[in-house]
């Protein structure tokens, strides 16, 4: 493998790994904040137990999310120095603002939340977890603002061979950001809520603290359903926008070589041969692609061959077709997983409403499995977004091969890749081990843990 391929492998794998934890952190922050709100305003101890139980899981996950994020902050410079030089003027600002606005807020208020159970007024303590959630939203906004610039560069001018910001407002109202942000957040909420529902399903199945976990299950499924619908709508608006901003990615995600007919059918399944630029076998739903792209049942969608010819005229000779199979399948995995999530949360709410949940063992087991689906969908969605953007790092401005650090050797990369992979494997193993342990322990432990605390203020006099 070349330095470029190694650098891409490292960036891809560390980012996908990081983004397993991020959506769960955002989603769980919201769920824990909801649970604590119910505790504070309904004065119901059940919700306090649930807050602490899911709070523990949230913290384990948050820690891994934070530390794997540190790499992200540094590796643009480490591995993609040419890219950093070229876009730093525009791209660095949202990253710096993210740290200043979001990271400080998350980490400070989370510290207070963890250690402040007995030192703060209930409502102040509750405010802390909501501020943590707000911080995670801010974080997502600014990093997506940076990412959106890579998909659809706006608010800049080229000066001395570098992209320089000339319109900050355009950067944060990037049309790509407007569709990408809600979709990502809805996905994160689905991740957190289905995690809560799945863990609760496990406890109900094991007949441990059933009444308590039914409450969490319901809350999880309600949020999951709302989030699922949000995912579908925001996903659709993203697809529509893709037609205008990156038609090549759209064509690749549809496996569309030649221009489509009018109206365009949507290929559910196909065997794509990207070498010979043809599909061996296709199963199509008529009209659907026209609808996805234009929200009406007519209109043709340009194919990759047409776009390739167009881009060659625009950007000079080269291959502008992204890896088609990856883009095509990751899109289908994401969309399929999304639909299953919506369906399952409807079913879950129905069973719960009819008070049949406990007898539905198969459904409860399936709900445990359901925990994994948002993770698969999140990863697939980003793989589609980032792989589908290739060969560009910044669409139309800079290619990936021109972005890599020229002075980082293959040996260094092999060292870092091995190191990070090993560390991440250990982290993942420990995280899963701790999750299982905490889930099996149930809620009783968590409460005793904190309530053995004595009033710290009482001792003050004896010290001084």
Partner 1 sequence: MIELNELWFLLVAILFIGLFFLEGFDFGVGISTKLLAKNDTERRILINTIGPFWDANEVWLLTAGGAIFAAFPHWYATMFSGYYIPFVFVLMALIGRGVAFEFRGKVDSPKWAKTWDWVIFLGSLLPPFLFGVLFTSILRGMPIDKNMNITASFSDYVNTYSVVGGVTVTLLCLLHGVLFLTLKTVGDLRSRARAFASKLIVPVLISLIIFTVLSYFETDLFTVRAHITLPLILSIIVAYVLAAFFISKQRDGWSFAMTGLGIALTISTLFTALFPRVMVSSIKNAYDLTVYNASSGPYSLKVMTIVSCTLLPFVLGYQIWSYYVFRKRVDEKDLTY
Q: Which of residues 38-77 bind partner 1 (CB under 8 A)?
A: 59-60, 63-64, 66-68, 70-71, 73-77
136 binds partner 1 (CB under 8 A): no
Q: Does 412 bind partner 1 (CB under 8 A)?
A: yes
Closest to partner 1 by CB, 158 vs 314, is: 158
b/e string for 395-434 if b means 16 or more Cβ within 10 A?
Answer: bebbbbebbbbeebeeeebeebbeebeeebeebeeebeee
Strand-pair partners of 281: 271
296 vs 459, beta carbon nearer partner 1: 459
Of the residues 2, 166, 319, 361, which one makes contact with partner 1 according to CB under 8 A: 166
Kindly tell me which residue out of 119, 356, 365, 440 binds partner 1, with binding defined by CB under 8 A. Answer: 119
Nearest distance in Å: CB 167, partner 1 = 8
Our CA angle for 73, 17, 27, nearest 5°, is 90
CB of 82 to partner 1, least distance (A): 7
Q: Assess 100 for contact with partner 1 (CB under 8 A).
A: yes
Instruction: Write the secondary structure of 60-86 as one string of H (helix), E (strand) and C (coil).
Output: HHHHHHHHHHHHHHHHHHHHCHHHHHH
Give me the least distance between CB of 156 and partner 1, in Å please.
9
- Which residues in 315-354 contact partner 1 (CB under 8 A)? none
Pick out residues in 423-452 that bind partner 1 (CB under 8 A).
423, 427, 430, 434, 437-438, 449-450, 452
Nearer to partner 1, 88 or 265 (CB): 88
Query: Is residue 421 close enough to count as binding partner 1 by CB under 8 A?
Result: no
Give the residue with the Cβ less far from partner 1, 45 or 73. 73
Write out 173-230 in H/E/C secondary structure. Answer: CCHHHHHHHHHHHHHHHHHHHHHHHHHHHHHHHCCCCHHHHHHHHHHHHHHHHHHHHH
CA–CA gap between residue 56 and residue 77 (Å, rounded): 34
Q: Which is nearer to partner 1, 110 or 224 (CB)?
A: 110
H helices within 80-121, ranges in order?
81-97, 104-115
* Cα-based angle 91, 95, 96 (whole degrees, multiple of 5): 115
396 lines the binding site for partner 1 (CB under 8 A): no
CB of 158 to partner 1, least distance (A): 11
Q: Which of 303, 261, 268, 298 is nearest to 285 (CA)?
A: 268
36 near partner 1 (CB under 8 A): no
From the CA atom positions of the chain, what is the Rg in Å? 24
Question: Which residues from 168-187 bind partner 1, rule CB under 8 A?
Answer: 168
459 lines the binding site for partner 1 (CB under 8 A): yes
Cα–Cα distance for residue pair 58/169, rounded to 1 Å: 34
Binding mask 223-262 for partner 1 (x = CB under 8 A): ----------------------------------------
Which residue number, 199 or 205, has a Cβ lying nearer to partner 1? 199
Span of 95-103, 256-264, 277-285, 287-295 interacting with partner 1 by CB under 8 A: 95-103
Contact region for partner 1 (CB under 8 A) — 45-53, 158-166, 320-328, 382-390? 158-166
Applying CB under 8 A, among 26, 28, 50, 112 the residue interacting with partner 1 is 112
Cα–Cα distance list, 79 to 249, 302, 393, 417 (Å): 25, 35, 13, 11
- Residue 463 touching partner 1 (CB under 8 A): yes
Q: Is 101 in the site for partner 1 (CB under 8 A)?
A: yes
Report the Cα 423 to chain-centroid distance in Å: 21
Q: Choose, by CB under 8 A, the member of 134, 164, 173, 325 that binds partner 1.
A: 164
Using CB under 8 A as the binding rule, whether residue 400 contacts partner 1 is answered as no
Question: Binding segment for partner 1 among 265-273, 274-282, 370-378, 414-422 (CB under 8 A)?
Answer: 414-422
Instruction: Report the phi/psi class of residue 314: left, alpha or beta, with left for phi > 0 and alpha for psi in -120 to 50.
Output: alpha
Task: State the greatest distance between any 2 C-alpha atoms of the chain, in Å, as a whole number.
Answer: 84
Residues written for the chain: 464
Answer yes or no: are the C-beta atoms of 250 and 301 closer than 8 Å.
Answer: yes
Can residue 305 be called a binding residue for partner 1 (CB under 8 A)? no
Cis amide bond preceding 391, omega within 30 = yes
Give the interface segment with partner 1, choosing from 178-186, 320-328, 373-381, 419-427 (CB under 8 A): 419-427
**With CB under 8 A, what is the number of residues at the site for partner 1?**
79
């Amino acid at each position: 493998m070349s330095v470029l391929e190694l650098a891409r492998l490292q960036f891809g794998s560390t980012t996908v790994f990081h983004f397993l934890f991020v959506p769960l952190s955002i989603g769980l922050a919201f769920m824990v904040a909801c649970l604590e709100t119910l505790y504070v305003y309904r004065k119901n101890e059940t919700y306090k137990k649930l807050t602490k139980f899911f709070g523990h899981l949230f913290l384990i996950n948050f820690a891994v999310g934070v530390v794997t994020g540190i790499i992200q902050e540094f590796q643009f410079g480490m591995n993609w120095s040419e890219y950093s030089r070229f876009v730093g003027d525009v791209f660095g600002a949202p990253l710096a603002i993210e740290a200043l606005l979001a990271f400080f807020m998350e980490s400070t208020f989370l510290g207070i939340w963890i250690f402040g159970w007995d030192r703060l007024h209930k409502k102040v303590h509750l405010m802390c977890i909501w501020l943590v959630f707000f911080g995670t939203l801010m974080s997502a906004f600014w990093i997506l603002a940076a990412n959106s610039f890579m998909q659809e560069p706006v608010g800049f001018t080229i000066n001395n061979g570098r992209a320089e910001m000339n319109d900050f407002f355009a950067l944060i109202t990037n049309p790509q950001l407007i569709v990408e942000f809600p979709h990502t957040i809805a996905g994160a909420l689905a991740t957190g809520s289905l995690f809560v529902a799945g863990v609760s399903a496990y406890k109900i199945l094991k007949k441990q603290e059933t009444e308590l976990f039914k409450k969490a299950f319901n809350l999880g499924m309600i949020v999951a359903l709302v989030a699922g619908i949000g995912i579908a709508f925001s996903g659709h608006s993203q697809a529509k926008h893709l037609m205008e901003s990156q038609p090549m990615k759209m064509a690749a995600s549809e496996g569309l070589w030649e221009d489509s007919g009018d109206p365009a059918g949507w290929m559910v399944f196909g065997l794509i041969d990207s070498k010979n630029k043809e599909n061996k076998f296709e199963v199509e739903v008529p009209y659907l692609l026209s609808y996805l792209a234009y929200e009406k049942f007519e209109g043709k969608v340009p194919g990759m061959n047409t776009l390739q010819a167009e881009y060659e005229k625009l950007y000079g000779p080269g291959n502008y077709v992204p890896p088609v199979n990856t883009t095509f399948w990751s899109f289908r995995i994401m969309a399929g997983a999304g639909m299953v999530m919506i369906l399952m949360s409807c079913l879950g709410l129905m069973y719960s409403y009819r008070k049949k949940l406990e007898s539905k063992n198969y459904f409860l087991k399936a709900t445990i499995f359901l925990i994994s689906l948002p993770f698969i969908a999140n990863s697939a969605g980003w793989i589609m977004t980032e792989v589908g953007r290739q060969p560009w790092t910044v669409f139309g401005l800079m290619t990936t091969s021109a972005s890599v650090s020229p002075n980082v050797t293959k040996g260094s990369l092999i060292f870092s890749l091995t190191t990070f992979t090993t560390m991440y494997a250990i982290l993942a193993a420990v995280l899963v081990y701790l999750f299982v342990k905490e889930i099996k322990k149930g809620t009783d432990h968590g409460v005793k843990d904190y309530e053995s605390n004595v009033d710290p203020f009482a001792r003050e006099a004896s010290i001084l």
